């Protein structure tokens, strides 16, 4: 079973910020939060990861709560090309682990024009 819980789907207006929540209440001390997304019929694409501090890169920002039990991925100015399934994954920083990455069902984000 996935270690994370995400809403099944979300809508966001083009140009607005998309905020995607993820619950990971059983996260352990050595596990990071990783986000990937998968645009239809393509392979998943890495977005961002973090341990406990907020992180930002050219694609998105990641906000992790102080107790690390939940996080939010923020796409600051969503475009139609951001329509995809977004996966939140908890995993040790390095090493694949015995089970590889557990993707879960993810959140289908639909950007509305």
Partner 1 sequence: KAGVTQTPRYLIKTRGQQVTLSCSPISGHRSVSWYQQTPGQGLQFLFEYFSETQRNKGNFPGRFSGRQFSNSRSEMNVSTLELGDSALYLCASRPFSGANVLTFGAGSRLTVL
Report the interface residues with partner 1, using CB under 8 A: 32, 34, 36, 42-46, 49, 87, 91-106
Task: Please report how close the Cβ of residue 11 comes to partner 1 at its closest, in angstroms.
Answer: 21
What CA–CA distances, in Å, run from 15 to 27, 56, 76, 77, 104? 33, 18, 8, 5, 28
Task: Please report how close the Cβ of residue 35 comes to partner 1 at its closest, in angstroms.
Answer: 11
Report the candidate in 104, 99, 102, 101 with the shortest Cα–Cα distance to residue 85: 104
Query: Which of 32/70 has CB closer to partner 1?
Result: 32
Task: Please report how close the Cβ of residue 90 comes to partner 1 at its closest, in angstroms.
Answer: 10
Query: Which of 36/75 has CB closer to partner 1?
Result: 36
SS3 81: helix
- What is the β-pairing status of strands 107-112 and 9-13? parallel
Query: Which of 47/111 has CB closer to partner 1?
Result: 47
């Amino acid at each position: 079973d996935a270690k994370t819980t995400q809403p099944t789907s979300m809508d966001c207006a083009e140009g607005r910020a998309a905020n995607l929540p993820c619950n990971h209440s059983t996260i352990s001390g050595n596990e990071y939060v990783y986000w990937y997304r998968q645009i239809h019929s393509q392979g998943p694409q890495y977005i961002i990861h973090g341990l406990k501090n907020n992180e930002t890169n050219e694609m998105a920002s990641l906000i992790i709560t102080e107790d690390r039990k939940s996080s939010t991925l923020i796409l600051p100015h969503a475009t139609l090309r951001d329509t995809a399934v977004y996966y939140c994954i908890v995993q040790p920083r390095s090493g694949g682990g015995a089970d590889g990455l557990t993707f879960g069902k993810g959140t289908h984000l639909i950007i509305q024009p």
